[in-house]
Amino acid sequence: MYRAPVREMRFVLEELLGSASLTASPLLSDYSDELAQSVLEEAARFAQSVLDPLNRPGDTQGARWTADGVVTAPGFREAYSQFAQGGWPALGSAPEYGGQRVPQVLGSAVGEFWGSANLAFKLGPMLTHGAVHALQLCGSPAQKQQYLPKMVNGEWTGTMVLTEPQAGSDLGQVRTRATPEGDHYHLFGQKIFITWGDHDLTANTIHMVLARIDGAPPGVRGISLFIVPKWLVNADGSLGSRNDVRCLSIEHKLGIHASPTCVLAFGEKSGALGYLVGEPGRGLEYMFIMMNSARLSVGSEGYAVGERAFQRAAEWARTRVQGKPPVAAAAGPAPIINHPDVKRMLLMMKSQVEAARALILYTAFQFDLSDYGPDEAGRKAARARGELLTPIAKGWCTEIGNEVAGTGVQIHGGMGFIEETGAAQYLRDVRITTIYEGTTGIQSNDLIGRKLAKDRGVAMGALLADMERELQTLATADAAVEATRRAALEAVGWLKNSTQSLLKALAVRPDTGMAVSVPYLRLCGYVIGGWLMAKSAAVAAAKTSGSDREFYAAKIRTAAFFAAQVLPVGLGLARVVDAGGASVVETDAALI
């Protein structure tokens, strides 16, 4: 059974980040640690009692395509009804449309629980939230009034409709066309890989579609964003006739079988009616509002599935009796958690999940500071840091999720390769997270091309300076915490040197820099994770007495393990970055 890590989450929010400081903003005056705890505990109950029991059946039975529409896995409609009735779609949305304003960092924390308990279910509300956010920022007043209230209360869902068969991740090749007629457009084209593009959970689905207005220029400058509802909406808010959009099929995937990934056809008849969002030609700009929100959310999904894989592996290791450890307390077989290598693998899983959690929530917190901080300069700096960290958080945390889920299978041994134990599902489900919303390579290109090179390393330099300063002044008398601090500080030096090496390469030979962009992104993840783990250990060292002493002792030991056996991976990555990508770019493709 899944156990939502409420205490772990509270530690990061309350003690590591100090999210209650956001109450200084009048917009968040009602927020408090107590409110956050209440939300987390209720979210944990829903995740554990409603979503987790559907995870395995949803995997085995999956969503089903019919000519009349997609039928979701048994139990999903009832679960979504409870989800909406509980007010969860409203969390984090604007109050004027029925939402509950809370910090993004709390929404990210709750999202972890959904992702751990049932990733296939979680994907639908995640995309709706992104569509709501885009409409709040870019939609007209009439569009907001017509669509947002029912999306915010969960009565309708939303999608993000980008990809086409010939385009893939290159959105400049989008061919779906939009023909103007009066105050609306008729859309014609086909889209693929549309998550929750059709389903039976709600009465309507609001598609956010990229298309090219007739006569628009080629490339990304000619792309616009359109609202295309599954069912047309009358002036009074009631549903009218069915729009000319149809699900042709759903994909047969490696994992997340209960999440319908759809092929959608727009305009098989007279054209799907769509309504322009904002200005023509700015569709990609508007879509990136949704995409950047989704990237951070997908990052949390990576480590969230890793958390669930860790819990199952730890339970297996405590109950699976096999072999005699080298220093067993008693003769005969013992639970495998007593074997040194099994213990090492569990610590590898646990420490990396904790580091990833801290990174995701720290990144979300930067966006909260950019929205609710007390001064303009601080808000601007926080926004720059959040944007810098987004590709790192998305890329590294999903790669870690894959590694952790794979280790979970290994701990199960041969039984991990058998579907009945459940370990394999996490490995299959999490695999998509390194691909969703841009592969790790796309994230790393964004990191060094749009973030690092754009400001010549200013935002990264500020982060490195803060990490170095905090680690140099981190006072502790605990030997384990001191060793963790020193290791994290040394790692910051690796990243500082590699950043300078990469900036030099980008200035002279950009392709050699691009060839080591993924190693650089991974290096960033390990080093920033090490810094946050060292800070966590220092916080825990000051609180080792009282009823929570075992919790804090575990934080110190987990951080010590990360510093000793995980963080050194960064040194190898730093050497790769420093050496540059000549071995890649100087190899003719014909020789591969």
**Of the candidates 161, 171, 155, the residue with the CA atom closest to the CA atom of residue 192:** 161
The pLDDT of residue 484: 97
Average pLDDT, integer, range 518-526: 98
Model pLDDT for residues 210-228, shown as the tens digit of each residue: 999 999 998 889 999 999 9
d(CA 317, CA 414): 13
Q: Which two tokens stand for residue 330?
A: 């008693």
d(CA 26, CA 261): 41
The pLDDT, as a whole number, for residue 81 is 98
Categorize the per-residue pLDDT at 167 as very low, low, confident or very high, splitting at 50, 70 and 90. Answer: confident
| Average pLDDT value over all residues in the chain | 95
Q: What is the pLDDT of residue 330?
A: 64
Write out the catalytic residue numbers. Answer: 437
* Tens digit of each residue's pLDDT (9 = 90 or more) over 417-434: 999 999 999 999 999 999
**Cα separation of 47 and 71, whole Å?**
22
Whether the per-residue pLDDT at 195 is higher than 70: the answer is yes
SS3 52: helix
* CB-CB contact of 64 with 77 (8 Å): no
Average pLDDT score over residue span 494-517: 95
403 — pLDDT class (breaks 50, 70, 90): very high
| Residue 461, CB-side half-sphere exposure with 13 Å CA sphere | 9
* Residue with tokens 């944007």, as numbered in its chain: 387
Question: What is the C-alpha separation between 553 and 540, in angstroms, rounded?
Answer: 7
pLDDT digits (tens, 9 = 90+) for 319-340: 999 988 887 566 778 899 999 9
Q: Could you tell me if 108 and 161 are in contact, meaning their C-beta atoms sit under 8 angstroms apart? A: no
Q: Does the structure show a pLDDT above 70 at 580?
A: yes
CA pair distance 390, 287, nearest whole angstrom: 16
User: In degrees, to the nearest 5, what angle opens at C-alpha 195 toward C-alphas 194 and 196?
Assistant: 110
Q: What percent of the chain has pLDDT over 90?
A: 92
Q: What are phi and psi of 137, to 5 degrees?
A: -90, -30
Q: Torsions phi, psi of 588, nearest 5? A: -65, 135
Q: Are 436 and 383 in contact (CB under 8 A)?
A: no
Query: Which of 259, 264, 216, 220 has its CA nearest to residue 243?
Result: 264
List the domain boundaries for the chain.
6-152, 157-284, 456-592
Q: What's the CATH number of domain 6-152, 1.20.140.10, 1.20.950.20, 1.10.540.10, 3.40.190.10?
A: 1.10.540.10
Pick the CATH number of 157-284 from 2.40.110.20, 1.10.357.10, 3.40.190.10, 3.40.430.10: 2.40.110.20
Contact 92, 129 (CB under 8 A): yes
Q: Which residues of 321-341 are buried (b: 16+ CB within 10 A; e: fewer)?
A: eeeebeeeeeeeebbbbbbee
Of 489, 305, 540, residue with least CA distance to 404? 305
Alpha-carbon gap, residue 591 to 166, rounded angstroms:
27
CB 231 within 8 A of CB 203: yes
The residue written with tokens 């934080």 in the block is 555
Three-class secondary structure of residue 209 per DSSP: strand
Pairing of strands 69-71, 239-242: unpaired
What is the pLDDT at residue 292?
A: 80
Give the contacts of 168 (CB within 8 A, at least 6 positions apart).
Answer: none
Taken in order 396, 397, 402, 405, the sign of the CA dihedral is: positive
Residue 586 CB-density burial (10 A; 0-12 exposed, 13-18 middle, 19+ buried): exposed
Asked if residues 286 and 225 have their Cβ atoms less than 8 Å apart, the reply is yes
Amino acid at 379: R
Q: What's the full length of the chain, in residues?
A: 592
pLDDT at 477: 86
3-state secondary structure 67-121: CCEEECCCCHHHHHHHHHHCCHHHECCCHHHCCECCCHHHHHHHHHHHHHHCHHH
Whole-number CA gyration radius for the chain? 24
pLDDT higher for 174 or 5?
Answer: 5
pLDDT digits (tens, 9 = 90+) for 73-87: 999 999 999 999 999
- Asked whether the beta carbons of 388 and 451 are under 8 A apart, the reply is yes
Closest CA relative to residue 485, chosen from 396, 385, 562: 562
Beta carbons within 8 Å of 38's beta carbon, 6+ residues apart: none
pLDDT in tens, 85-124: 999 999 999 999 999 999 999 999 999 999 999 999 999 9
To the question of pTM greater than 0.85 for the whole model, the response is yes
Strand partners, 273: 186
Query: Quick one: CA torsion of 246, 249, 250, 254, rounded to 10 degrees?
Result: -160
**Residue 329 has what pLDDT?**
60
The model's pLDDT over 430-486, given as tens digits with 9 standing for 90+, comes to 999 999 999 999 999 999 999 998 899 999 999 999 999 999 999 888 999 999 999
